[in-house]
Structure 1
Amino acid sequence: MAEGFGAVLKKWRGLRRMSQMELALEAGVSARHLSFLESGRARPSRGMVLRLSEELQLPGGAQNQMLTAAGLAPAYASRDLDDAELAPLRQAAEQMLAAHEPLPAMVIDRHWRLLDLNRPMALMLGGAGISKGSSLIEALLDNAALRDALDNLQEVERHSLARLRTELAHFGADPVLERAMARLQAHAAAHAVPQEGVLPAVIPARYRMAGQVLAFFSTITQFGGTGDLAMSELRIEMLFPADNSTREAMEAMARS
């Protein structure tokens, strides 16, 4: 049975660790009215649902959940990624991947499934049998070739776990991310190393490739100004060299 609006609102307020008073103040309503909304004694307008969603910093899917729980139409559509309306966004992603060469870049969805990649990234991941459609979470956990290629595997696992925690907090709940996080937590616990001193400014992932170690850090870009759920959840991840030897190696590969 679908949850009512009050239960959904209370769940998200708890996830965001806000009291009724705090949320009421941020949304500009009385705590009494918010209490009535959670108990079902009052029904929200569409404007109220969207205002509360904004203050709770809900992703599009969660906003749809709040709206439908209140008996209202959803705000976000979830189109097929090949939909003609999404062509400008697809073109933007393709341009970013191409412009980033000779450095690696890729497009992944909310479950870290590889949707597109440029030639340098294909070269890096191809040796481990990773291509479009592959899950990078599953590869990190189970792909022996990738795990062997990561010179600092345990460090990459720890930072991937921290990233999963952040993403799961944003989405609220996601069985795929939750399972991956549980498995990574088990790996991290088995190889726990106390952190000493201040963390360095750059914490790269180091790949063994073609007889050398290539070190990269990454940036992540998301689409703004889209009313489509699928596109709002995409990540464009660009890798940058963490040292001069890596930059020189990537430039040499591009010339060969």
Structure 2
Amino acid sequence: MDFPQALREHRTRHRLSQLELALKAGTTQRYVSFLESGRSQPGREIVIRLGESLDLPLRERNSLLLAAGYAPAYPQTPLDDPALAPVHTALTHILAAHQPYPAIVIDRHGDLVAANAAFALITDGAAPDLLEPPANVYRLALHPNGLAPRIANFGEWAQHILERLHTEVLRNPNERLTDLHAELQQHVSGRPLEPGHLGFAVPLRLRTVQGELHLITTITTFATAVDITLAELKLEAFLPADEISSSILARTARKGPDAADVPSQLM
């Protein structure tokens, strides 16, 4: 894809007019029009500025630079590179500090990168093949051999997962995520939503051997990362939505759940 087409598609996907993009990027509507028609060749700085203004993921910003004939600006360091050792240490501390509540780190495809010991209670009973690295947490959540049979509000939670995936696909078009979304829809098809469904604002109600957990989640990203690998990591933390869930998690932690069954590259 050449630069004019790439810029036009990104702008259209983000529902911005040429004028709106120009204002965000500190240029003129006329210049954006010339770029999209191929009448002007962009400098490297304006390509970077346009990528920032479109809030493109770093991977897509590199692709935009390549389309314009420039070298990528953002590195992609392997997760096991010694240069990322401080990040490993920080993530390990964060995961451990979140005990006795579950927490995980996933990559852009939803593959599990790391998890704390409490996450074992969530994965308990899932088919071993779904936990084999690289375990995909979206598939684990909705697959009939994963968590699905234990999710009391499966319809709502499945909708939450699918909407989250759909948003990610729109923001960062990706063939693997698109295929995963289509795969998971097959597991969800025909499952009704409960009355009073609140869209994305839904807790996870998970049956466990210790009792039913009601969990809410938070997602943290490396907002200022300039490395693709770091920028694409997400830290998802589960929090108890009521006292009963808090007590179950605290009690389980005292018993010392086996975290060995949860694949992890950081632990």
Fold in common (TM above 0.5):
yes
How far, CA to CA, are the matches of 2:195 and 2:205 in structure 1? 19
How far, CA to CA, are the matches of 1:131 and 1:194 in structure 2? 32
In the other structure, the counterpart of 1:221 is: 220
In the other structure, the counterpart of 1:251 is: 250
Q: Kindly state the Cα deviation for residue 193 of structure 1 after the two structures are TM-superposed.
A: 3.8
Letter in 2 for 1:82: D
1:61-101 CA distance string (max 9 Å, x none): 11001111111111111111011111111111111100001
1:13–1:140 distance in 2 versus 1, CA, 3 Å: same
How far, CA to CA, are the matches of 2:224 and 2:210 in structure 1? 43
In the other structure, the counterpart of 1:169 is: 170
More displaced stretch, 30-39 vs 212-221: 30-39
How far, CA to CA, are the matches of 2:26 and 2:146 in structure 1? 54
Does the 8 Å contact 2:4/2:36 carry over to 1?
Answer: yes
Any stretches of 5+ residues in structure 1 without a counterpart? none
Percent of aligned pairs with the same amino acid: 38
Q: What SS is found at the alignment partner of 2:207? A: strand
Pairwise CA RMSD: 2.1
More displaced stretch, 159-168 vs 180-189: 180-189
Any stretches of 5+ residues in structure 2 without a counterpart? 256-267
How far, CA to CA, are the matches of 1:94 and 1:33 in structure 2? 47
In the other structure, the counterpart of 1:43 is: 41
More displaced stretch, 179-188 vs 86-95: 179-188
Q: What SS is found at the alignment partner of 2:147? A: helix
Does the 8 Å contact 2:156/2:193 carry over to 1?
Answer: no
More displaced stretch, 18-27 vs 34-43: 18-27
Letter in 2 for 1:72: Y
In the other structure, the counterpart of 1:23 is: 21
How far, CA to CA, are the matches of 1:202 and 1:36 in structure 2? 43
How far, CA to CA, are the matches of 2:68 and 2:15 in structure 1? 22
1:184–1:192 distance in 2 versus 1, CA, 3 Å: farther
How far, CA to CA, are the matches of 2:132 and 2:236 in structure 1? 15
In the other structure, the counterpart of 1:91 is: 89
How far, CA to CA, are the matches of 2:66 and 2:199 in structure 1? 46
How far, CA to CA, are the matches of 2:177 and 2:170 in structure 1? 10
More displaced stretch, 131-140 vs 30-39: 131-140
Q: What SS is found at the alignment partner of 1:213? A: strand
In the other structure, the counterpart of 1:122 is: 120
In the other structure, the counterpart of 2:179 is: 179
In the other structure, the counterpart of 1:77 is: 75
Q: Kindly state the Cα deviation for residue 160 of structure 1 after the two structures are TM-superposed.
A: 0.6
In the other structure, the counterpart of 2:11 is: 13
Q: What SS is found at the alignment partner of 1:119? A: coil
How do 1:109-148 and structure 2 match up within 5 A?
A: 109-128=107-126, 129=128, 130=131, 132-148=133-149
How do 1:47-58 and structure 2 match up within 5 A?
A: 47-58=45-56
Q: What SS is found at the alignment partner of 1:190? A: coil
In the other structure, the counterpart of 2:155 is: 154
1:215–1:131 distance in 2 versus 1, CA, 3 Å: farther
Does the 8 Å contact 1:20/1:34 carry over to 2?
Answer: yes
Q: What SS is found at the alignment partner of 1:102? A: coil
1:161-186 CA distance string (max 9 Å, x none): 12112222321x11122123234445
How far, CA to CA, are the matches of 1:207 and 1:122 in structure 2? 13
TM-score normalised per structure 2: 0.87
In the other structure, the counterpart of 1:32 is: 30
Choose between structure 1 and 2 for higher RCO, CA contacts under 8 A separated by at least 6 residues: 2
